[in-house]
Amino acid sequence: MSRRSLLKAGGALMTVLVSPVALGADTKVLAVRVWPAQDYTRVTLEGGDALRYTAQVVKNPERLVVDLEGVEFNSVLQSLPSKIIDADPYIKLIRAGRNRPGVVRLVVELKGEIRPQIFTLAPVGNYGHRLVLDLYPTQPVDPLLALIEKSTPENAAAGNTNPNPELAKADPAKIDPAQPKLEITRQTIEITPDKRTETIQKTRVTRLITIALDPGHGGEDPGAVGRAGTYEKHVTLSIGKRLKALIDNEPNMRAMLTRDADFFVPLGQRVQKARRVEADLFVSIHADAFIKPEARGSSVFILSERGASSTAAKWLAQKENAADLIGGINVGVRDSHLARTLLDLSQTATLNDSTKLAKAMLSEIGGINTLHRGAIEEASFAVLKAPDIPSILVETAFISNPEEEKKLADEDYQDKMAAAMLRGIKRYFAKNPPLAKSKLAMLE
Task: Kindly indicate the confidence band of residue 315, based on its pLDDT and cuts at 50, 70 and 90.
Answer: low
Banded pLDDT at 310 (limits 50, 70, 90): low
29-137 under CATH 2.60.40.3500, yes or no: yes
Q: What is the pLDDT of residue 148?
A: 64
Candidate CATH numbers 3.40.630.40, 3.40.50.1470, 3.40.47.10, 2.60.40.10; the one for domain 209-436: 3.40.630.40
Which H/E stretch holds residue 358?
A: helix 348-365
pLDDT tens profile 23-58: 445 889 999 999 999 999 999 999 999 999 999 999
Tell me the pLDDT of the chain averaged across its residues: 79
Distance CA 363, CA 81 (A): 50
Confidence of residue 373 (pLDDT cuts 50, 70, 90): confident
Q: Is the pLDDT of residue 327 over 60?
A: yes
Q: What are the structural domain ranges in the chain?
A: 29-137, 209-436
Burial of residue 383 (number of CB atoms within 10 Å: 0-12, 13-18, 19+): buried
- Contacting residues for 291 by C-beta, under 8 A, at least 6 apart: 315
H-type alpha helices, 251-309: 267-276
Whether pTM exceeds 0.75: yes
- Spatial distance between the Cα atoms of 97 and 186, rounded to a whole number of angstroms: 73
User: Rounded distance, CA 42 to CA 221, Å?
Assistant: 12
pLDDT, mean of residues 337-362: 72
pLDDT at 46: 97
> Which position has the higher pLDDT, 147 or 203?
147
Which strand ranges, in their side-by-side order, compose the sheet holding 181-191? Answer: 181-191, 196-206, 439-443
Query: 73 or 165: which carries more pLDDT confidence?
Result: 73
Please say if the pLDDT value at position 7 is more than 80. Answer: no
Q: Is the pLDDT of residue 367 over 50?
A: yes
Mean pLDDT of 87-115: 95
Mean pLDDT of 4-30: 48
Which residues touch 230 (CB under 8 Å, ≥6 apart)? Answer: 399, 405, 408, 409
Above pLDDT 70, what percent of the chain? Answer: 71
Residue pLDDT, tens place only, 219-275:
999 999 999 999 999 999 999 999 999 999 999 999 999 999 999 999 989 999 999
User: What integer pLDDT is reported at residue 157 of this predicted model?
Assistant: 42
C-alpha 218/C-alpha 35 separation (Å) is: 9
What pLDDT, on the 0 to 100 scale, is given for residue 349?
78
For 138-185, write each residue's pLDDT tens digit. Answer: 998 888 876 765 544 444 444 443 333 333 344 444 444 444 443 333
Contacts of residue 167, defined as CB under 8 A and 6 or more positions apart, other chains included, come to 148, 151, 175
